[in-house]
Structure 1
Amino acid sequence: MLTINLKDAKARFSSMVNEAINGEFVTITRHGKPVAALVSVEVAEAARMAIEPKRARLVAYLRTFPGCEVFERNSAPSRDMEW
């Protein structure tokens, strides 16, 4: 895993993309703290597919609660405002 600061990442972006394409994980830091990661599209898609089923199961579970057949927004103001 390659770790690089943001300033150097800007200067070497093209080579870092090549690293990601070759399967390398590139961690970008700002002030010494990790803030972003550069990975290949395949890795990003795999991560997204791992998360999506969990989100779908949660939504399906929440819809089993009584009264959740239709989600409507309450149009009433949250408080009466008098100026």
Structure 2
Amino acid sequence: MREIQLRDAKAALSAVVDDANRGEPSIITRHGKPEAVILSFDEWQRLSTVPSFGKLLAASGLVDGDIPERDETPLHDLDR
């Protein structure tokens, strides 16, 4: 993924959008810091439909007792 300064992206916005549509997203920077990402609409739609980890867990069908209690036993003796 290439980085492009904001002022350069403004001057070449059409080319930046064309690159994104070809599968080459760009990171827009301001004063050297990443500020935004330009990617194709199709890629944005694909990424925006990925469920959160919480939603995946909620849909898993797990019930109380399906996951064993956490073992709190120390991994090694700290007094040695």
TM-score range, shorter chain: 0.5 to 0.7
**What is the deviation of 1:55?**
8.4
Aligned residue among 49, 55, 58 for 1:57: 55
Aligned pair count? 58
Structure 1 segments of 4 or more deviating over 2 A?
53-58
Q: Distance in 2 between the 1:17 and 1:57 partners?
A: 32
| 1:15-73 CA-partner distances (Å, limit 9, x unpaired) | 000000000011000010000000001110011001xx338839x7xxxxxxxxxxxxx
**What corresponds to 1:19 in structure 2?**
19
- Higher helix proportion (structure 1 or 2): 1
User: What RMSD over aligned residues (CA atoms) do the two structures have, in Å?
Assistant: 2.1
Q: Distance in 1 between the 2:9 and 2:52 partners?
A: 33
Unaligned runs of 5+ in 1: 61-83
Q: Percent identity?
A: 42
**What corresponds to 1:67 in structure 2?**
none
Unaligned runs of 5+ in 2: 59-80
Q: Distance in 1 between the 2:4 and 2:22 partners?
A: 17
TM-score by length of 1: 0.61
